[in-house]
Amino acid sequence: MNLEYSFVIPIYNRPEEVRELLESMLKVQFTPEYEIVIVEDGSSVPSKEIVEEFQEKLNISYYFKKNSGPGDSRNFGMRKAKGNYFLILDSDVLLPENYLQEIDAFLQQNYCDCFGGPDAAHPSFSKTQKAIDYAMTSFFTTGGIRGKKSSVNAFQPRSFNMGISKKAFEACGGFGQIHPGEDPDLSLRLKKLGFRLCLIPKAVVFHKRRIDWSKFYYQVKKFGMVRPILNKWHPGTGKITYWFPGVFSLGLLMSILILKLGIWWLFVLYVLYFMLIATDAALRNKSIEIGFLAVYAALVQFFGYGYGFIKSIWYIQILKKDPEHQFPNLFFKNV
């Protein structure tokens, strides 16, 4: 199978991220030559000069457009790309040397029109970044759904590390204007069209996530808010597990309140769970501090996602509000 790969990378005010990503791509071992399409999404701090530093070493094309969000920027890049298989990355990732080799080997043997891969923490990442990575990827916090789940039937690729064929892109029209949530929306539309989606377990990227705790809370809250919207758009896709963060958070608050009544067993269960997270994260990262930070990251994730999910359920599914009118900050408009 003749697969010609084009990386499509939207960026917004992240020139140093682009430098680190391109430096990692210099080490990617793969022939024939692959293409890199950089789409600057209306940045006030552009990356053009940094991209130019790599143009003699990598096959790069650079485009600047008005700000219209990451989904529309990815669509723009795919329309400009020359390959027949597009590899979508966020600008805050680093690639291991074997990234393309693993993708090509898998697709040659087990082709699918859209795939996703896992994310991991690079040894150079900060302790906070490693703790957040643990909260986002661990079996004990998310069930390993972000690229570490062997079942491909329920797997929804995420756009920080995703591949899609030109054929599938043209059939579905690409990403929508919701953000976040544009990637599961795309996955669900592709499934309806009959395209096969899959997980490539060895197509790992190092996801740096340059966010502090408040930004992390805001991010996961938005993740929770978009899920009921997607469930409304795609009937039958809702799962009981989407309720877990909200139920978990309310249960924790209740366990603290009933301590005054002498009921302690529920709170003890939570303590044991947090001890499990702290121990597992500490052993994985060989750091007690990261173990404690991972507990905090899990709390931020559960409370943020849970609050956003319950809030969205109230407005979208109970009060029947229009998603774009109720939550305009979740949608980009084409310009």
Q: What does the pLDDT look like over 94-134, one tens digit per residue?
A: 999 999 999 999 999 999 999 999 998 888 899 999 999 99
* Residue 145 pLDDT class (50, 70, 90 cuts): low
* Residue 151 pLDDT class (50, 70, 90 cuts): very low
Rounded to the nearest angstrom, the gap between the alpha carbon of residue 273 and the centroid of all alpha carbons in its chain is 25
Average of per-residue pLDDT across 315-324: 95
Report pLDDT for 122. 87
Domain segments of the chain as ranges: 5-117+157-210, 223-330
Tell me the CB-side half-sphere exposure of residue 173, using CA atoms within 13 A.
6
* Residue 144 pLDDT class (50, 70, 90 cuts): low
Token pair, residue 9, equals 């990378």
Report pLDDT for 154. 59
- Give the range among 72-81, 155-164, 222-231, 265-274 with minimum mean pLDDT: 155-164
| pLDDT at residue 73 is higher than 70 | yes
The Cα diameter of the chain in Å comes to: 70
DSSP letter string over 144-185?
TTTT--S-SSS----TTEEEEEHHHHHHH-S--SBSSSHHHH
Residue in this structure with the two tokens 């059939």, named with its chain if needed: 171
3-class DSSP state of 71: helix
3-class DSSP state of 202: coil
pTM of structure: 0.90
Mention every residue, 6+ apart, whose C-beta is less than 8 A from residue 99. Answer: 28, 203, 204, 205
Q: Of the candidates 156, 152, 132, which has an alpha carbon nearest to the alpha carbon of residue 299?
A: 132
The residues that bridge with 116 in the sheet, in sequence order, are: 162, 199
Mean pLDDT of the chain: 93
Q: Please tell me the distance from the alpha carbon of residue 312 to that of residue 225, in angstroms, as a whole number.
A: 5
Tell me the CB-side half-sphere exposure of residue 133, using CA atoms within 13 A.
27
**What fold, for 5-117+157-210?**
Spore Coat Polysaccharide Biosynthesis Protein SpsA; Chain A (3.90.550)
Pairing of strands 161-165, 114-116: antiparallel
| pLDDT at residue 1 is higher than 80 | no
Q: Please tell me the distance from the alpha carbon of residue 205 to that of residue 119, in angstroms, as a whole number.
A: 5
Report pLDDT for 148. 47
